[in-house]
Structure 1
Amino acid sequence: MPKINVEKIQTLTGHKDCLYTVETGPEESHFFSAGGDGIVAQWNLNNPELGSMVAKVQNSVYALHYIRTNNQLIVGHNYEGIHLIDVAQKKEIKSAKITSQAIFDIKLVGSTIISACADGEIILSDLNDLSTLAKLKLSDKSARCIAIHPSGKELAIGFSDNTIQILNSDTYQVSKKLNAHNNSVFTLQYSEDGTLLLSAGRDAHLKIWNTFNDYSLVESIVAHMYAINHVCFSPDQKYFATCSMDKSIKIWSADTFRLLKVIDKARHAGHGTSVNKLLWMTHKNQLISASDDRTLSIWDIQIDK
C-alpha cells in the first residue's frame, strides 16, 4: 500500500466569509475561489500570498465554471443568476437573471451552460448570449451537483431528494434514476475513463457506481462522521480525496477504495470548521481545500509507492 505524506504549504486568507467553491484557472498553477462574501478571487500557487479579485457580486457564490478556450469564468450568483467574466480584463461581459434561487453547481456541455438550482430546476442557457434554452423541473428538492461523463453523452445530477438522475446530454431526457443515498447528494464525480461514478452527501456515505453495468452499486462506504461535501480525483486518477463537515480531508485509493490518509486539525493543522470544496492541482500535485473558516489551505501531497 502506498505511503502518503502530507504537508501544509500555506494558508490563504483574504475572504471575509465562508468559502464554498474552488475552480481550475488559466494556467496549471492558477485557481479561483469564491464564497459567502461574493468575491471571486484568482490565485497563483507560484506566488500564493498575492490573490487578486476577479469579480464581486452582492450575494454568496456556490458555483464557478472556468472556460479555458475563452479565458472566461461563469459565476453562479445566488438569487441573481449567472455572470460571464472576462478573466484577463477582470470585467463582466454579460449577466442573466435565470433564477431567483441559489445556484449550487454549473457545468458546460458544448455551448450550453447547465445550472443546478435550489428549486430542483436544471436551467440550460446559451453561452453566447446567456439566453435561457430550457428549464427542467426534475425534483421538488434542490439540485445540488452535476457531473459530465467523459464521453460527453450523458450527465449525472444529484438532488436533495436523495436521488441521482442520469440525463442524455443531447435530449436532456432522464434515462435512469438512482435512489442513491439516505439524504441529499452533494457531490458527484466520474472517473476519467468513465467506468465509475462516485457519489456522496449528507448521509456521510461514499458510493461507487459501475456506469458500464447500468450504474450498479460497486461499493458503499461510511467514509466520514458527517456530511461529505465534495469528492475529487488526483491528476493521475490513482487516488481521490473527500472532504467533510467533520472538518477532515481523506485520501483514498481509486483502485481498492481503501482509505490511505486522514488530514485534520490535530495531525496536520487542518481546518477548524467544515471543509467544503477540494481542487487537486496538476501543479506539484498540490491539493487546495476551501472551508467555512474563511481560508484556503494548500497541501503538498507526496506519494511513496
Structure 2
Amino acid sequence: MTLRIWDIETGKMVIGPLVGHTNTVRCVAVHGSRIASCSWDGTFRVWDADSGKLVLGPITAHNGRSVNWIAYSKDGTRIATAGDNDRAAVWDANTGVQLREMVGHTNWVVCVAFSEDGTYLVSGSRDETVRIWDVASGECIGEPLTGHRGWVRAVCFSPDDKRIFSSSDDRTIRIWDAETRALIVEPLRMDDGVLCMALSPDGKRLVSGSRSGKIAMWDTQTGAEIPTPFKAHTGYVWSVAFSPDGRMIASASEDKTIALWDATDDWKRWDIDNYVTTRAVLRFSPPL
C-alpha cells in the first residue's frame, strides 16, 4: 500500500514510505520528477519524486474497481490505466480528467502501454487478447491479436513502434508486427507463466520473469534466449525493469527481495535489504 524510493548505489531508501493507497499498489510509472501509482483500491495518484508529496489525486478510476496498470505517454501529458471494469482509459496527466475510455475487452484489462509517438495504446486482458487503440478517438483498430491461452500480463511497443510484445500466463512471450498483426518469430517460451517483462532502451533485448522465480533474457530480433547467470528468485517474479541506459536490470519477487544486476559486465548482483512485502512493482527513475 506504499511507495518507496531507493538509491541503487547504496541500497538505502531515500524517500518514503509514501502513504495513501488503501490496498496493494499494483503498478507505478515514472516521468521526470513525477511518479504515478495505481492500486486495487480503485484509484491512481501522482507524487513528486523529489519531495514525496502527493500532487494529484486520489483519482477514482474504472468505477472504483481495481486499477491494474498505469503508464505515461512519452511526453508526460497523458496517463493510461487498465481496470477490472474490462476497460482501458486515458487521462490528462496534469488535471486527472478522463479523456478517453476504451471499450472492447470482455474481461479485466490487465496492462496497457503507449506507443512511442503517443498515437496508439496497446492493452492486454484476462480475455487472452491484445488490442490496439487510437488514443485520439478511443476506437479499437482492427481485430484483437489472438493466440495467447492465458491472461495477458504485460504489453509494450518497440522503440520504433513497429513491433508489439506481449507476455502471458500461458508461459509465452509473443512478438507481433504492429501493422500486419502477424507473429514475427515463434513464441518465446518460459518454464511457467510470464508475469512481467521489460524491453531494453534500444529494443534489442527483453527481460522476463515467471511464476517459478526464473528471470530470462531474449534477443528480440531472433527470439533466441541469451545465456545469463541470473540466479532465480524463490518466489513469483512480479516485476522487472531496465535502467534508462540499459546497463542495469532490477527484479522484484514474492520472496521479498529486490535484485539489481549489472547487465554489461560480470552480471554482478546486489540485493536491497529491509524489503518486506511479497508483491511489488518497480521502475527506474529517468537520468538526471
* In structure 1, distance between residues paired with 2:271 and 2:12: 12
Structure 1 residue 18: Cα displacement:
0.4
Give structure 1 regions of 4+ aligned residues with deviation exceeding 4 angstroms.
none
SS of residue in 1 equivalent to 2:54: coil
CA displacement at 1:255 relative to structure 2: 1.4
Partner of 2:128: 120
Q: Does residue 215 in structure 1 map to residue 223 in structure 2?
A: yes
Higher relative contact order (CA 8 A, sep 6+): 1
Q: Could you say what secondary structure the match of 1:277 adopts?
A: coil
Structure 1, 247-256 or 100-109: larger mean CA deviation: 100-109
Give the Cα–Cα distance (whole angstroms) in 1 for the partners of residues 104 and 236 of structure 2.
29
Give the % identical residues. Answer: 19
Give the Å deviation of 1:51: 4.8
- Per-residue deviation at 1:97? 2.9
1:8 has 2:17 as partner: no
TM-score (norm 1): 0.83
Corresponding position: 1:17 with 2:26: no
- Does residue 129 in structure 1 map to residue 133 in structure 2? no
CA distance in 2, matches of 1:18, 1:93: 26
How far residue 85 of structure 1 moved from its aligned partner, in angstroms, is 1.1
> For residues 283 and 191 of structure 1, do their structure 2 counterparts lie closer, same or farther at Cα, with a shift above 3 Å needed?
closer
User: Could you tell me which residue of structure 2 aligns to residue 141 of structure 1?
Assistant: 150
Are residues 147 and 67 of structure 1, via their aligned partners in 2, closer, same or farther at CA, if it must alter by over 3 Å? closer
Distance 1:187 1:237 in 2: 17
Structure 1 runs not aligned, ≥5 long: 285-305
Report the residue type matching 2:11 in the other structure. Answer: V
> Alpha-carbon deviation of 1:283?
6.1
Amino acid paired to 1:66: Y
- How far has the Cα of 1:191 moved from its partner? 1.7
Shift of 1:70: 6.8
1:201 aligns with 2:194: no
For the 8 Å contact 1:82–1:98, the answer to whether it is kept is: no
What residue identity is the alignment partner of 2:286? Answer: T
For the Cα contact (< 8 Å) 2:255–2:278, is it kept in 1?
yes
The aligned counterpart of 2:88 is 82
- TM-score, length basis structure 2: 0.88
Amino acid at match of 1:231: V
Q: CA deviation at 1:257?
A: 6.2
Aligned-residue offset at 1:79: 2.4
Offset, 1:94? 2.9
Shift in alpha-carbon separation, 1:257–1:92, aligned structure 2, 3 A: farther
Distance 2:38 2:86 in 1: 16
Write 1 or 2 for the structure with the bigger share of strand: 1
Cα drift, residue 190 of structure 1:
2.0
Query: How many residues align structurally?
Result: 274
Q: 1:132 to 1:227 in 2, by over 3 A?
A: same
Q: Structure 2 unaligned runs (5+)?
A: 1-7
Change (3 A) 1:193 1:87: closer
CA distance in 1 between counterparts of 2:219 and 2:79 reads 32
CA distances 1:222-269 after superposition (whole Å, capped 9, x unpaired): 42111111111122321111111112110001114624211132xxxx
Equivalence map 1:162-201=2 (5 Å): 162-201=171-210
Partners in 2 of 1:53 and 1:12 — Cα distance?
Answer: 13
Of stretches 229-238 and 10-19 in structure 1, the one that deviates more from structure 2 is 229-238
More deviation, 34-43/131-140: 131-140
Instruction: Say whether the 8 Å CA contact 1:189–1:231 is kept in structure 2.
Output: yes
Q: Which residue does the alignment assign to 1:280? A: 284
Task: Kindly indicate whether the alpha-carbon contact (under 8 Å) linking 2:83 and 2:110 is maintained by their aligned counterparts in 1.
Answer: no
Q: Cα deviation per residue 1:116-152 (whole Å; 9 max; x = unaligned)?
A: 1012111122111211223222222111111322233
The CA distance in 2 between the partners of 1:85 and 1:12, in whole Å, is 22
Q: RMSD between aligned alpha carbons?
A: 2.0
Query: In structure 1, what is the Cα distance between the partners aligned to 2:85 and 2:152?
Result: 15
Distance (whole Å) between structure 2 residues aligned to residue 201 and residue 112 of structure 1: 28
What's the counterpart of residue 4 of structure 2? none
- Whole-Å Cα distance in 2 between the matches of residues 94 and 192 of structure 1? 28
CA deviation map 1:80-111 (0-9, x unaligned): 40222112222112323322412221112352
